[in-house]
């Protein structure tokens, strides 16, 4: 394909910058849809390539094609009673970034507690498609799909955690099933209504977001520094990945992350993308109280809401999960080389991490 997005002079600059305020209200996300896992009968199918590239469709016009223009505003003065979220910093944002990820706080909160907001605005998804250049993408469908799946995952995990906490007060609970701290705490789904002018007419869009715990710690990927080092006698530079801590500390962090991931599966959600960029580490890498948090659920499998619904699968024991060859490429810099080549040494190390498992 050689399609290119047409010029889009009506598209506003991405507004999700420091200081931007959003007047939000609670929002009910649609049932999760998209792909083989979710076949919600009421979900709109993605538009065909021919429909997306029909004459006259810029990304802005495509995003308002199903909306009616606003009526003339009332001359009476009005105030917006909705609470405001104020962006403090941008973690991932800008045009073509997909879901915008920002740190924010409630404007009326004296303590200015920081939260993480993930904003699903199709106007700032990549109209061309990040993985398939030259092919038009149904950005409206993509944004709503991401939102529907991620919100469903957080709702499922929060409901499980609530049930577990209630039952823990009345009976002896197996702490290995407690998922508190294994994922970012979830504070709900919201939406705000930005306006855009197209063809001289104003349209009010509904842009959803989810609000979760802000994690001050870096992701596992962010803890690895990429450096370009000049080697004497050689032309150019060598790329060197610097990793924190000792081999033992990084193995400990990796196994804690695997444990968090497996707990979430047992709770009903397969996160689906176990990788350093989606693992946040809070605390000392050596510490037994290290918190390994699994984030990003837009490709998750929420088993009870799949088509048809399923029970959580029986996962491998933790040591077998950690030893899976599939992790070698994803964690090649984080884990020492011998972890996947020296089975006896790896099993000996895993016995320390999982003393109750047979390795």
Distance CA 274, CA 311 (A): 20
Report residue 183 CA to chain centroid gap: 11
H or E element: which one contains 329? helix 327-330
Helix axes 247-267, 139-168, angle to 10 degrees: 90
What is the reported pLDDT for 129?
75
Distance CA 100, CA 105 (A): 15
The closest of 292, 265, 264, 296 to 353, measured between CA atoms, is 292
Residue reference for tokens 């077998």: 320
Joined together, the tokens standing for residue 35 give: 């792909």
**How confident is the prediction along the chain (359 residues), in pLDDT tens digits per residue?**
578 899 999 999 999 999 999 999 999 999 999 988 999 888 889 999 999 999 999 999 999 999 999 987 655 545 667 799 999 999 999 999 999 999 999 999 999 999 999 999 999 999 997 677 788 999 999 999 999 999 999 999 999 999 998 887 766 667 778 999 999 999 999 999 999 999 999 999 999 999 999 999 899 999 998 877 767 777 777 778 899 999 999 999 999 999 999 999 999 999 999 999 999 999 999 999 999 999 999 999 999 999 999 999 988 889 999 999 999 999 999 999 999 999 999 999 999 999 876 55
Joined together, the tokens standing for residue 49 give: 């390539």
0.85 exceeded by pTM: yes
CB hemisphere CA count around 225 (13 angstroms): 7
Buried b (16+ CB within 10 A) or exposed e, 6-34: eeeeebeebbbeeeeebebeebebbbbbb
What is the reported pLDDT for 175?
78
Buried b (16+ CB within 10 A) or exposed e, 77-92: eeeeeeebbbbeebee
What is the reported pLDDT for 1?
58
What is the reported pLDDT for 74?
55
Domain assignments of the chain as residue spans, ordered by start: 21-213, 225-294+316-353
The closest of 184, 12, 11, 18 to 90, measured between CA atoms, is 18
DSSP state of 266: H
What is the reported pLDDT for 238?
74
What is the reported pLDDT for 272?
94
Joined together, the tokens standing for residue 225 give: 């520094």
Is the Cβ–Cβ distance between 227 and 239 less than 8 Å?
yes
Q: Output the furthest CA–CA distance in the chain (Å, rounded).
A: 77
Let me know if 269 is exposed, middle or buried by CB neighbors in 10 A (0-12, 13-18, 19+).
buried
What is the reported pLDDT for 265?
97
What is the reported pLDDT for 132?
72
């Amino acid at each position: 394909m050689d399609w290119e997005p047409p010029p889009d002079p009506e598209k506003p600059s991405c507004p999700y910058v420091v200081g931007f305020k959003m007047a939000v209200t609670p929002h009910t996300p649609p049932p999760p849809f998209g792909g083989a896992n979710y076949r919600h009968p009421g979900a709109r199918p993605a538009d065909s390539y021919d429909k997306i590239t029909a004459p006259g469709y810029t990304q802005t016009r495509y995003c308002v094609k199903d909306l009616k223009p606003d009526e003339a505003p009332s001359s009476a003065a009005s105030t917006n009673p909705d609470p405001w979220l104020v962006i403090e910093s941008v973690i991932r944002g800008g045009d073509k970034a997909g879901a915008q990820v920002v740190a924010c706080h409630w404007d009326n909160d004296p303590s200015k507690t920081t939260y993480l907001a993930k904003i699903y605005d199709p106007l700032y998804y990549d109209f061309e498609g990040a993985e398939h250049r030259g092919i038009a993408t149904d950005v409206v469908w993509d944004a709503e799909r991401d939102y529907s799946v991620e919100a469903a995952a957080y709702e499922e995990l929060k409901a499980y955690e609530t049930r577990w906490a209630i039952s823990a007060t009345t009976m002896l609970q197996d702490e290995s099933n407690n998922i508190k701290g294994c994922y970012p705490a979830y504070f709900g789904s919201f939406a705000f209504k930005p306006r855009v002018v197209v063809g001289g007419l104003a349209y009010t869009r509904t842009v959803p977001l989810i609000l979760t715990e802000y994690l001050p710690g870096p992701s596992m990927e962010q803890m690895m520094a990429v450096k370009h080092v000049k080697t004497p006698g050689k032309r150019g530079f060598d790329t060197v990945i610097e990793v924190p801590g000792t081999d033992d500390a990084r193995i400990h962090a990796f196994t804690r992350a695997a444990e968090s991931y497996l707990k979430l599966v047992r709770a009903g959600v397969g996160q689906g993308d176990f990788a350093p960029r989606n693992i946040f580490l809070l605390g000392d890498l050596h510490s037994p109280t290290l918190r390994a948090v699994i984030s990003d659920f837009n490709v998750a499998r929420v088993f009870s809401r799949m088509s048809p619904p399923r029970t959580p699968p029986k996962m491998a024991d933790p040591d077998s999960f950690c030893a899976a060859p599939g992790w070698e490429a994803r964690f090649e810099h984080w884990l020492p080389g011998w972890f996947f080549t020296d089975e006896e040494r790896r099993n000996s190390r895993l016995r320390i991490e999982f003393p109750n498992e047979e390795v």
